Homo-oligomer: A and B are copies of this chain.
Amino acid sequence: MSPANKMKRITILKAALKLFAEQGFHAAPMAQLAEQANVGVGSIYRYYKDKEELIETLYEEVDEALQVAIIEGVDPTQSTRKQFLHLIINLTHFLKDHPHEFKFLEQYYHSPYGIDKKREKLLLDNTAGRQSPFIKIFFNKSSKDIKRLPVPVLHALAFGPILFLIRDAMAGLVELDETVIIQVADGCWDAIRNRAGS
């Protein structure tokens, strides 16, 4: 594919991200998307078979970016706690700085779009593959530092709060400054760490 083509693909994807985030999949007509992307309606269909494929592709793209952002700068030689905090902070910053991506992902996961199909795939191979760059490495060496709990439970304890909070932040209910982020991360750490003498 030529660079020009690639560029148009991306233009469309970007416009879609914004539009879908702002209006939702269903309330975003292809015509409007075409307009925002400054292309003809038909052109979208050169690059994506249909609306669904566009959404799937967008999801893949966004998810990829998220995964990359999350592990950025995490240093495996540091303490588990340090790494954990780093992850949480990365995640939070990425989502705060990319509200469109955040809203899109929220919709994607929670609308019965590919809800079962996608979540299942996603989370299933979380345990053993894809997203794992960080999850797996992190939880694998967990023996000592982290509670011996089923991975999904650790997962929930570790990431549930911050995701919950980011939603509130998006809605303007909290100011997610560094202090708060650290507080939450600390809380999460408390939730999963293996407290020796307690």
Contacts and interface: CB of A to CB of B under 8 A. Distances in A.
Counting chain A residues whose Cβ lies within 8 A of the other chain, the interface size class is 35 or more
At the interface, is chain A mostly helix, strand, loop or mixed? helix
A119 B153 contact: no
Interface of A: 21-24, 26-27, 103, 106-107, 109-113, 115-116, 119-120, 123-124, 147, 149-150, 152-153, 155-157, 159-165, 167-168, 171-174, 180, 183-184, 187-188, 190-192, 195
Given A27-B112, A107-B112, A171-B116, A180 B161 contact: no
Contacts of A26: 26
B163 A164 contact: yes
A26 B112 CA distance: 10
Complex A-B, nearest 3 residue pairs according to Cβ-Cβ distance, in ascending order:
A160-B164, A160-B160, A110-B110
Nearest to A186: B191
A193 B153 CA distance: 19
A74 B110 CA distance: 30
B149 A183 contact: yes
A153 B173 contact: no
A157 B184 CA distance: 7
B150 A156 contact: no
A157 B24 contact: no
A14 to B, nearest CB: 18
A23 B116 CA distance: 11
